[in-house]
């Protein structure tokens, strides 16, 4: 079985894994980072979104072996080291951008990457950027407001 | 929802990658961005004894200009198409088509070659390649390469002219000089979904006319009758009628054949109108 090493939220992780193990399962089962959620496990829902060398990707569609040598940031690595919330997280809280919270890690990670690349998005761009993440509770209005607020902060 | 076991290969050279495909043939599948393949593996719609991951192959990604051609290496991420200034200037259609592919998280990982080789009839890049008259470059072990016109490459749903031991290495898009107009139009239920129907149109002042449809059959379709009407200067509605007259689109849960045909006519008309507007403005 392949041996891999990668940096997750600034920490070196080493493991021997089956080639078919997804990055999502590696993060949850090997690294005990269960903030990365698995909704559909086939790339539709976006709940498992992480940053892979800075790019938002679905971690259920990347095998852990493919992330060898990479820098991965999960929802656990988005806030400050002292436990403080990021601007995006603060905005989601302030605008009620979540209800049950299952989809939230994927939204936060996606929006973090989106606003980094496009700090002053139009409403249309925000809606397009959110289209890759599914939320079954909120109806998205609070999430859209949260992104608008985070962009202004 | 977990893929069946497979042997994983991560070759670092093209020769090595082609060698693995030659050795394992039908037992092996190329893993590029994985945005279509991995879901199919996870759902166990398919399984392979060997996956050949081409992400580490040297020289497999990137874009370069070769005289009148833009060469997009197969491993180039779809995200590059929408961000790279050289792509936008040389082949504007690629930059316009890319944002319609899935979502940005998908395009960060998905590759140009992967989308072409996967050959989903409702995807954008195959139709763009056909409308622009692109050529696809294939390699096999021993260094043999060949080029296939895009129109001949797509032979059925998820099926291409590439043999099991061949690897798609690049797509070669002609860079059109002079005043040109390009447009891609599609109708999808939600942003990022596969289109119910879509159209790609390319026109130039010197008589080039390219028209291709996607989502209307088992392969992306070059609308030859529509191209003739386009070249003859027919009104957009007549071009659309000519382009869609012989279509036999599928009926499924998303849309009936009649609805698809109507949408196809609509998107062709819109694409032709926009492409002509752009071409006239560039004159």
- Residues of chain B contacting residue A19, judged by C-beta atoms under 8 Å apart: 5-8, 51
Quick check: helix, strand or coil at residue A146?
A: helix
CA distance A112 to chain B (A): 12
Of B3, B38, B191, the CB nearest to A131: B191
**Closest CB to B35 among A43, A56, A128:** A43
Rounded to two decimals, what is the model's pTM?
A: 0.96
Query: For residue A31, what pLDDT is reported?
Result: 98
In which residue are the tokens 């192959």 written?
B57
Write out the two tokens for B225. Answer: 């009758």
- Per-residue pLDDT, B129: 98
Q: Which of A2, A43, A131 sits opposite B8 (nearest CB)?
A: A2
C-alpha pair distances (Å), A23 with each of A4, A139, B198, B267: 11, 29, 34, 39
In this prediction, residue B177 carries a pLDDT of: 87
Chain A residues whose beta carbon lies within 8 Å of the beta carbon of residue B10: 65-66
Using pLDDT thresholds of 50, 70 and 90, give the confidence band for residue A153.
confident
Who among A19, A22, A132 is closest to B105 (CB)?
A132
φ, ψ at A57 (rounded to 5°): -140, 160
Alpha-carbon span B30 to B53, nearest angstrom: 6
Cα–Cα distance, A93 to B261 (Å, whole number): 46
Dist. CA B229–CA B276, nearest whole Å:
13
> What's the gap in Å between the CA of A1 and the closest CA on chain B?
9
pLDDT tens figures, B87-146: 999 999 999 999 999 999 999 999 999 999 999 999 999 999 999 999 999 999 999 999
Domains recognised in chain B with CATH numbers: 7-52 (3.30.43.10), 63-174 (3.30.465.10), 180-282 (3.30.390.50)
Nearest CA in chain A to B35: A61
Tell me whether A131 touches chain B (CB under 8 Å): yes
Bridge partners (DSSP) listed for residue A52 = A55, A72
Whether A132 and B192 lie within 8 Å, measured CB to CB: yes
**Alpha helices for chain A (secondary structure H):** 23-25, 87-94, 104-117, 123-130, 141-152
A5 touches chain B (CB under 8 A): no
* pLDDT 10s digits, B182-211: 999 999 988 888 899 999 999 998 889 999
What's the DSSP call for residue A22? B
Tell me the pLDDT of chain B averaged across its residues.
96
Mean pLDDT on B38-62: 97
Distance from CA of A108 to the nearest CA of B (A): 13
Mapping DSSP onto H, E and C, the string for B64-102 reads EEECCEEEEECCCEHHHHHHCHHHHHHCHHHHHHHHHCC
User: From its phi and psi, is residue A84 left (phi > 0), alpha (psi between -120 and 50) or beta?
Assistant: beta
Closest CB to A42 among B6, B43, B55 = B43
10 Å CB burial of residue B145 (0-12, 13-18, 19+) is middle
Per the CB < 8 Å rule, is B5 touching A19? yes
**Residue range A49-96, pLDDT digits in tens:** 999 999 999 999 999 999 999 999 999 999 999 999 999 999 999 999
* Rounded CA separation A98/A20 (Å): 32
Q: Using CB atoms and an 8 Å cut-off, which of residues 16-45 of chain A contact chain B?
A: 18-20, 22, 25, 41-44
Report which secondary-structure segment, H or E, holds B15.
Answer: helix B14-24
Query: Tell me: the pLDDT tens digits for B70-87?
Result: 999 999 999 999 999 999
Question: If you search the block for the tokens 């819109």, which residue do you land on?
Answer: B270
């Amino acid at each position: 079985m392949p041996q891999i090493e990668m940096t997750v939220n600034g920490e070196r992780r080493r493991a021997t894994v089956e080639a078919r193990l997804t990055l999502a399962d590696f993060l949850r089962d090997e690294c005990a980072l269960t903030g990365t959620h698995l909704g559909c496990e086939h790339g539709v829902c976006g709940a498992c979104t992480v940053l892979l060398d800075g790019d938002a990707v679905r971690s259920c569609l990347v095998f852990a072996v493919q992330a060898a040598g990479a820098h991965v940031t999960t929802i656990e690595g988005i806030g400050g080291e002292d436990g403080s919330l990021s601007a995006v997280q603060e905005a989601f809280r302030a605008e009620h951008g979540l209800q049950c919270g299952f989809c939230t890690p994927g939204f936060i990670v996606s929006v973090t990457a989106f606003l980094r690349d496009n700090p002053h998005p139009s409403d249309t761009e925000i809606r397009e950027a959110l289209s890759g993440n599914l939320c079954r509770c909120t109806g998205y209005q609070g999430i859209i407001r949260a992104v608008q607020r985070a962009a202004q902060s | 929802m977990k893929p069946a076991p497979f042997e994983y290969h991560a070759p670092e050279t093209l020769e090595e990658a082609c060698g693995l495909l030659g050795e394992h043939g039908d037992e092996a599948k190329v893993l590029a961005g994985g945005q279509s393949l991995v879901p199919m593996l996870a759902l166990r719609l398919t399984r392979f004894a060997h996956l050949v991951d081409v992400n580490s192959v040297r020289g497999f990604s990137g874009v370069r200009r070769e005289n009148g051609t833009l060469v997009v290496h197969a491993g180039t991420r779809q995200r590059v198409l929408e961000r790279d200034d050289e792509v936008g200037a040389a082949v504007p259609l690629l930059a316009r088509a890319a944002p319609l592919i899935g979502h940005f998280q998908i395009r960060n990982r998905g590759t140009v070659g992967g989308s072409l080789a996967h050959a989903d009839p409702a995807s954008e890049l195959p139709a763009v390649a056909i409308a622009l008259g692109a050529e696809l470059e294939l390699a096999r072990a021993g260094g043999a390469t060949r080029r296939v016109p895009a129109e001949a490459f797509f032979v059925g749903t998820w099926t291409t002219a590439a043999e099991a031991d061949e690897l798609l290495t690049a797509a070669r898009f002609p860079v059109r000089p002079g005043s040109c107009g390009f447009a891609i139009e599609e109708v999808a239920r939600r942003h990022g979904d596969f289109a119910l129907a879509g159209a790609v149109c390319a026109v130039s002042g010197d008589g080039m006319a390219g028209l291709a449809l996607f989502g209307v059959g088992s392969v992306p379709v070059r609308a030859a009758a529509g191209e003739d009407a386009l070249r003859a200067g027919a009104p957009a509605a007549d071009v659309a009628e000519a382009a869609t007259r012989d279509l036999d689109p599928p009926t499924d849960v998303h849309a009936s054949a009649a609805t698809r045909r109507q949408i196809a006519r609509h998107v062709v008309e819109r694409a032709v109108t926009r492409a002509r507007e752009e071409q006239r403005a560039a004159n």
